[in-house]
């Protein structure tokens, strides 16, 4: 492809990726195979004199951008280079090229017209992390919109792109926003040329609103100046339409009823964060990206997305089924053991009872005197020592009675019974 113009030495211009009033983005190629995206700002800087305000402002913002890369964040595009083009002295920012669709593309067919709750929360965390990272080093983005946030197909992360406004002078920024800014995403104060940390948070709120509702709160009907002014005035004066009502009317028809019901249960904390970001007065919003990210983090402890919840539930069901099978086997084994133990106890009891009965009968039977004509029944206590006094003398008694065949031991007969 023929070069349109020279960007800078060692960086080949591969052609335009997008163009707009705030500048153009070109696909660049460095020596080798490194592909990049080059943001070219529309207003040239004709001097590199340090006393020139535009050049000085540009240099200051470039220095801030360099700090963004000192501790890279996976949700912020890496800045590779910046400076002035060799032809025309246009300010440019060279960034890594992210393969993947932007949010604007993800909201168009064949994709659903809105995001699921879990994916919206994922995007919210990634974008808040990006803003926190930038605001810590003093960089305000100023141009957050759906086509400036890409889904990185290689990593699965959402990435904030295009820091073109960040390096513009205040006057350049005011002029650019007034005539070419994405007014659907602009905070009320931006319509007066003001850009603050809170300004980025308003645009963040619009992004989340669009993902859940399937539309921005104040759509641009056409690109006429009148339409732009109406949208700008709406941001300043009107309250945003009911998000949940818009979401309800835009849920995909092909979704089953149970999914539709689940997808209408937007967490109240998420709604509160969105509406706080959309406050008209900057001081009523979060102060910066760090505060926003902290607010989201407070609700992310133990938070699982739908896919993780489904996996967890599936795992719990499997574990429950395994435990039920184990319990059923245990109950069967326990029942069999109980029957066996009961049978053994009955056997032991009957055995002991039978043996005890035999010995008691033999020990307390009839005593016959060898030289008597009368037989006398003598009751004998099992543990008592037999004496002549225990025998009723109704007949002549032989002083040498016949000893019983089973004389009790000293320790007692019971000790000879084997117990189980």
Concatenating the DSSP letter of every residue in 180-234 gives HS-GGG--GGGGGT---HHHHHHHHHHHHHHHHHSS-SS---SSSHHHHHHHHHH
The SS3 assignment for 358 reads helix
Instruction: Give the rounded distance of the alpha carbon of 382 from its chain centre.
Output: 80
Check: CB of residue 155 under 8 Å from CB of residue 96: no
Secondary structure percentages of the chain, helix, strand, coil, to 5: 45, 10, 40
- Whole-number pLDDT of residue 211: 98
326 or 301, higher pLDDT: 326
Q: What whole-number distance in Å separates Cα of residue 123 and Cα of residue 298? A: 16
Check: CB of residue 47 under 8 Å from CB of residue 56: no
- Whole-number pLDDT of residue 333: 61
313 is written with which tokens? 């539930």
Place of tokens 């492809």: 1
The SS3 assignment for 264 reads coil
**Average confidence (pLDDT) over 127-141:** 95
Q: pLDDT grade, residue 2 (50/70/90)?
A: very low
Q: What whole-number distance in Å separates Cα of residue 417 and Cα of residue 420? A: 10
331 is written with which tokens? 């109950």
Check: CB of residue 17 under 8 Å from CB of residue 48: no
Check: CB of residue 64 under 8 Å from CB of residue 109: no
pTM: 0.68
> Which residues lie across from 83 on neighbouring strands?
92
Which of 305-309, 396-400, 407-411 is predicted least confidently?
Answer: 407-411
> Looking at the domain that runs over 99-303, which CATH code has it been given?
1.10.510.10
Buried b / exposed e over 229-244, threshold 16 CB at 10 Å, is eebbebbeeeebeebe
- Whole-number pLDDT of residue 17: 79
Beta-carbon contacts of 298 under 8 Å, excluding residues fewer than 6 positions away, are none
- The answer, yes or no, to whether residue 417 has pLDDT greater than 70, is no
Domain boundaries, the chain: 99-303, 318-416
**Average confidence (pLDDT) over 367-375:** 42
Q: What whole-number distance in Å separates Cα of residue 103 and Cα of residue 87? A: 33
**Average confidence (pLDDT) over 5-20:** 70
Which of 33-42, 136-145, 359-368 is predicted least confidently?
Answer: 359-368
- Whole-number pLDDT of residue 334: 66
């Amino acid at each position: 492809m023929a070069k349109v113009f020279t960007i800078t030495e060692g960086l080949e211009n591969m052609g335009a990726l997008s163009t707009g009033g705030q500048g153009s983005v070109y696909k660049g190629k460095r020596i080798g195979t490194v592909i990049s995206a080059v943001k070219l700002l529309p207003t040239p800087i004709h001097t590199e004199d340090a006393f020139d305000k535009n050049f000085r402002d540009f240099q200051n913002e470039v220095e801030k951008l360099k700090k963004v890369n000192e501790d890279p964040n996976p949700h912020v595009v890496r800045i590779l280079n910046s400076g002035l083009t060799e032809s025309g002295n246009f300010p440019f920012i060279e960034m890594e090229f992210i393969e993947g669709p932007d949010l604007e593309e993800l909201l168009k067919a064949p994709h659903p017209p809105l995001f699921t709750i879990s994916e919206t929360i994922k995007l919210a965390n990634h974008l808040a992390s990006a803003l926190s990272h930038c605001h810590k080093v003093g960089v305000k983005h100023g141009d957050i919109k759906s086509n400036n946030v890409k889904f990185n197909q290689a990593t699965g992360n959402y990435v904030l792109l295009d820091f073109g406004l960040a390096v513009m002078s205040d006057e350049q920024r005011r002029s650019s926003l007034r005539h070419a800014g994405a007014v659907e995403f602009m905070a009320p104060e931006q319509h007066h040329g003001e850009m603050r940390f809170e300004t980025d948070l308003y645009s963040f709120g619009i992004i989340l609103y669009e993902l859940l509702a399937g539309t921005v709160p104040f759509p641009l009907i056409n690109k006429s100046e009148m339409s732009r002014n109406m949208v700008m005035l709406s941001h300043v004066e009107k309250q945003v339409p009911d998000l949940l009502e818009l979401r309800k009317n835009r849920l995909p028809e092909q979704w089953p009823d149970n999914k539709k019901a689940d997808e209408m249960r937007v967490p109240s904390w998420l709604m509160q964060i969105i509406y706080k970001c959309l406050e008209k007065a900057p001081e009523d919003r979060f102060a910066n990206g760090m505060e926003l990210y902290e607010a989201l983090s407070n609700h992310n402890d133990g938070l699982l997305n739908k896919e993780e919840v489904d996996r967890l539930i599936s795992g719990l069901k499997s574990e429950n089924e395994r435990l039920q099978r184990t319990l059923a086997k245990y109950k069967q084994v326990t029942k069999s053991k109980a029957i066996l133990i009961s049978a053994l106890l009955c056997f032991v009891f009957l055995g002991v009872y039978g043996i005890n009965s035999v010995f008691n009968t033999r020990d307390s039977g009839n005593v016959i005197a060898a030289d008597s004509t009368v037989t006398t029944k003598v009751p004998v206590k099992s543990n008592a020592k037999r004496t002549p006094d225990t025998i009723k003398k109704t007949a002549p008694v032989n002083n040498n009675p016949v000893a019983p065949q089973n004389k009790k031991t000293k320790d007692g007969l019971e000790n000879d019974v084997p117990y189980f």
